[in-house]
Chain A
């Protein structure tokens, strides 16, 4: 009895240590987000409503969500495939060991290189006067812009986003590939499995949760990106983050609460993607330790 009383008296003091962090997180992370979420369910006169969310289902907004989802999905899928191929080449491909360090370091830099400079880099490379465009035209007489290529498009944005998506995939999937035990491969080959069979029956099922989880993470990663797309295309490509950017700057939707709903939709989509990532990650950790 005396013990529990003393413990109860001591408890508040222990919690005092959490005050700075809690105050910071509440004021500058949780409360602003809650404000947006609540705003999405509030009508102009302050009452509760679903109208803002219903209003999201108009053609122009749906179209921008759709193109955002398509771009995010395309960059996530290609980022996963190419990143996996490179990571597998480095970890299992029998290449010299010294390659690994530089590739991981480069991935660390490039995965954080989203933003305005990335757009400049691709404009200087694949833009109308970019190095690759000019070289292809002068040396091979092949004008990619005459053949329908445009950097300021769905395809161009996907190629640009891959510059930070592939490295992120490499960073996340390499530990999982390292976790594939050599015994499994030996056991499989003793039982007569070919390399292809080993991958199909043993390795891929084990890696499957990590692969799908990382796919979800890459999806969320590109869904929230603004700066690269804005610097690359201005506001000509109407993806959701750019629409929200324009809305915050100048209320282009002419309805502040629709803006909240737009932002709320972004949170829901990135939230689901991240939830899938965490859930699949927990599953994959049962095998890969």
Chain B
């Protein structure tokens, strides 16, 4: 037992050092911009860069739209599959996991060739079209996380009984999904939403290859041209990831609380 604990502590200590050093290193490096003293110069320089604000806003707007479109597609589908087509569940689950199997760079390669200006759906021909394509690409990337979250949320509900109760009270499909199913899986949708947010904010490949002014390509550009600003950007990006994760925890805890009261 004592030997076991000794090795456990060694493993944990190793892990702690490996994961803490890059975080400390980044933080320290981001403060080094002024010679000899620690300062927030790198952050000031980043935050005052108009391009930072533009790309950051662009990515945030993109993330919010992605979450909406993703929820719009996933919630009704997951509900419908559970209610009417349980046979299809393995198939739908398989399709939603495909974005983890097919590398994103291959998917976007397909977009560029399939939706170019001479195709049946020339989405890359206009700015709006390309934005839409990027949005739908992000929705594809978020599909595995969103679907799994919502499907797990639906598992705790008696979907059939709820639906029959709503129908006997005269509710149509739209009312059932918007006012009955959605509120019940809202926590799941939110936890899927925060992961989506964290992914979209820093995403590089899709935005870069579709030539959209997103935060990921901007970070890459700064990294190639500046010394201390990249570290400041990494600190900002990591903080966002942490905030998203914290919000997931918060939302899940909040939901447990309401369930206990019932």
Complex alpha-carbon distance, A278 and B72, angstroms: 29
Partner of B77, one of A20, A195, A230, A231: A20
Q: Is the CB of A112 within 8 A of B84?
A: no
Does A94 sit within 8 A of B, measured CB to CB? yes
Q: Is the CB of B25 within 8 A of A249?
A: no
List the A side residues contacting B234 at CB < 8 Å. Answer: 117-118, 120-121, 124
What total count of A-B pairs have CB within 8 Å? 242
Q: Which residue from chain B places its CB closest to the CB of A84 in the assembled complex?
A: B11
Question: What is the size category of the interface that chain B forms with chain A?
Answer: 35 or more
Q: Which residue from chain A places its CB closest to the CB of B72 in the assembled complex?
A: A20
Q: Could you jot down 10 A-B contacts, CB within 8 Å?
A: A18-B88, A29-B143, A32-B113, A82-B18, A92-B8, A94-B1, A105-B245, A120-B219, A120-B233, A248-B209
Query: A residues within 8 Å of B by Cβ?
Result: 14-15, 17-18, 20-21, 24-25, 27-36, 39, 82, 85-86, 88-90, 92-95, 99, 105-106, 108-110, 112-113, 115-126, 129-132, 162-163, 166, 195, 220, 223-224, 226-227, 230-231, 234, 241, 244-245, 248-249, 259, 263, 266-267, 270-271, 274
Q: Is the CB of B29 within 8 A of A130?
A: yes
Does B162 sit within 8 A of A, measured CB to CB? no
Smallest beta-carbon distance B17→chain A, Å: 10
Does B174 sit within 8 A of A, measured CB to CB? no
Q: Which of A92, A115, A163, A241 has the most B CB atoms < 10 Å from its CB?
A: A115
Query: B residues within 8 Å of A by Cβ?
Result: 1, 4-5, 7-9, 11-12, 14-15, 18-19, 21-26, 28-30, 72-74, 76-77, 80-81, 84-85, 88, 92, 95, 98-114, 136-137, 139-140, 143, 195, 198-199, 202-205, 209, 216, 219-220, 223-224, 230-231, 233-234, 237-238, 241-242, 245, 249
Q: Is the CB of A241 within 8 A of B103?
A: yes
Q: Which of B14, B22, B110, B205 has the most A CB atoms < 10 Å from its CB?
A: B22
Asked whether A115 and B216 contact (CB < 8 A) given A18-B77, A220-B101, the answer is: yes
Complex alpha-carbon distance, A117 and B215, angstroms: 11
Q: Is the CB of A125 within 8 A of B73?
A: no
Interface SS of chain B: helix, strand, loop or mixed?
A: helix
Complex alpha-carbon distance, A36 and B25, angstroms: 41
Q: Is the CB of A86 within 8 A of B139?
A: no
Smallest beta-carbon distance B231→chain A, Å: 4
Complex alpha-carbon distance, A27 and B114, angstroms: 10
Smallest beta-carbon distance B121→chain A, Å: 8
Q: Is the CB of A274 within 8 A of B22?
A: no
Q: Which residue from chain A places its CB closest to the CB of B202 in the assembled complex?
A: A115
Q: Which residue from chain A places its CB closest to the CB of B6 in the assembled complex?
A: A93
Q: Is the CB of A85 within 8 A of B11?
A: yes
List the A side residues contacting B98 at CB < 8 Å. Answer: 29-30, 33
Q: Is the CB of B105 within 8 A of A36?
A: no
Complex alpha-carbon distance, A104 and B15, angstroms: 13
List the A side residues contacting B109 at CB < 8 Å. Answer: 32, 36, 244, 248, 259, 263
List the A side residues contacting B108 at CB < 8 Å. Answer: 248
Complex alpha-carbon distance, A239 and B192, angstroms: 32
Complex alpha-carbon distance, A91 and B234, angstroms: 31
Complex alpha-carbon distance, A169 and B107, angstroms: 25
Asked whether A274 and B7 contact (CB < 8 A) given A35-B113, A124-B25, A267-B106, the answer is: no
New contact pairs (15) apart from A20-B77, A123-B231, A266-B103, CB-CB < 8 Å: A17-B84, A24-B136, A82-B11, A86-B11, A88-B11, A109-B241, A113-B241, A115-B204, A122-B22, A132-B25, A226-B105, A248-B105, A248-B112, A249-B209, A267-B101
